[in-house]
Amino acid sequence: MKSIAFFNNKGGIGKTSLVYHLGWSFADEGRRVLLVDLDPQSNLTAMCVGEERLEALWPEDRPRRTVRGAVQPLVDALGDIEEAHLEPLSNRLSLVPGDIRLADFEQRLSDAWPRCMDRDPAAFRVFSSIYRMIRAAAEAHEAELVLIDVGPNLGAINRASLLAAEYVTVPLAADLFSLQGLRNLGPTLEQWREGWAERLQKNPSPQLLLPTGATTPIGYVVMQPALHAGQATRAHERWLRQIPSVYSRQILGREVPPDLGVSDDPACLGVLRHYRSLMPLAQAARKPIFKLTTADGAMGAHSQAAREVGREIRALGARLLEAIELTEKL
C-alpha cells in the first residue's frame, strides 16, 4: 500500500479535482484505491457524493460517518479512534468522507505535538490518530493506493496528515502564490520531519502504531490556467520558468541549471491543461471528465476533449507511480 498526500499552501488551483480524477483513473486501470478527504472544506467529498448523501453522512443527532466521526472519541477525550466509514464509489474505489467539523480537532493535535516531547502516551495516541485511521481504512478496503487530499495551510491537521503519508505531490499554478507556497512548504516539511523523528525516540508505547514521518516528495504537477490574452500568457510563462529551480531548492535542497524548463525537469510529473467548461459538466454528472457521455452534454469538441483529459490523467498517473518506484530504488 502506497499513501500519497497532495498539498499546496495555495488553494483554488485544482488540487482536489486532480486527486478525484487520479483516483478514478487508477481504479479503472484495475487498482484498488482509497481516497481520504482531510481538508475540512470537504470539497473532495462534495465532488464524490450528492447533497442528499452528504446530509446522511453528516447527521446532527448521531455520530457522523466521516473522518471526524473516526476521531470523535479523541476529540471528547473519551477513548481512541473508531473505524472510519468507507463510502463506495465503484468496485475498486472508496472514500473516507471529509467533514467541516474536522477543524475542531486542530487544537487537540496542536496540543499533542509538544506533549509528545514529555513522553505522554495520550499525546502520541492523538497525534498518530490520522495515520492509524488511514491505515485501518486502507486495510479494510484492501487498497493498493491511498490518495490524501489536504487543505491549503500549514496547521496541525496538515502536519499530522502529511507526516502520515509516505509521499507528497505538489500541484502548482504558474503564479507568485504557488511559488511562495513552495518556499513555505520546503522548510516547514523539513522541520516537521525532524521534529517527529525526535519525538519517535520518546514514544512510551512501543505497541502503538506510529508513522515514520519520512514523507518523501515525489514531484509536482503544473495546473495551467485558462489563458486568453497575450499578457496573461507572458505572466504565465514568467512564473513557469521559475518552478524547477524553486521546487528543487526549497523541496529537494539542491540546485538545478537555471535554464531548466518544466518539460525537461525530472521532478515535473505532468502539465495539465485548464478544463474550462468540462468541469461543470463533470460536477453536474458526478463523474470524472473522461467518463462524460453525450447524455451528460459532452458532444462534439467536448467529447474529444474529455477523451484527451483521460489520456493526460493516465499519463500523469503512470509518471507518479514511476517516481515512487524510482524513489524506492534509491
What phi, psi does 164 have (nearest 5°)?
Answer: -80, -20
Concatenated DSSP letters of 93-137: EEEE---GGGGGGHHHHHHHHHHGGGT-HHHHHHHTHHHHHHHHH
pLDDT, mean of residues 285-294: 90
Q: What is the pLDDT of residue 225?
A: 66
Report residue 187's pLDDT band, with 50, 70 and 90 as the boundaries: very high
- CATH class as words, domain 2-264: alpha beta
Residues 95/48, Cβ–Cβ less than 8 Å: yes
Q: What is the pLDDT of residue 279?
A: 85
pLDDT tens digits, one per residue of 199-223: 999 999 999 999 999 999 999 999 8
State how far the Cα of 40 lies from the Cα of 116, in Å rounded to an integer: 24
Mean pLDDT of the chain: 92
Residues 170/60, Cβ–Cβ less than 8 Å: no
Residues 170/267, Cβ–Cβ less than 8 Å: no
Residue 224: strand, helix, or coil: coil
pLDDT tens digits, one per residue of 75-123: 988 899 999 999 999 999 999 999 999 999 999 999 999 999 999 999 9
Percent of the chain at pLDDT above 70? 97
Q: Which of 13, 4, 8, 6 is nearest to 184 (CA)?
A: 8
State how far the Cα of 104 lies from the Cα of 123, in Å rounded to an integer: 16
State how far the Cα of 157 lies from the Cα of 109, in Å rounded to an integer: 7
pLDDT greater than 70 at residue 197 = yes
pLDDT, mean of residues 142-166: 96
What phi, psi does 61 have (nearest 5°)?
Answer: -110, 5
Report residue 38's pLDDT band, with 50, 70 and 90 as the boundaries: very high
pLDDT greater than 90 at residue 270 = yes
pTM, two decimal places: 0.94
pLDDT greater than 50 at residue 20 = yes
Which of the two residues, 250 and 9, has the higher pLDDT score?
250
pLDDT, mean of residues 128-138: 97
Close Cβ partners of 303 (under 8 Å, ≥ 6 residues apart): 292, 294
pLDDT, mean of residues 212-240: 79
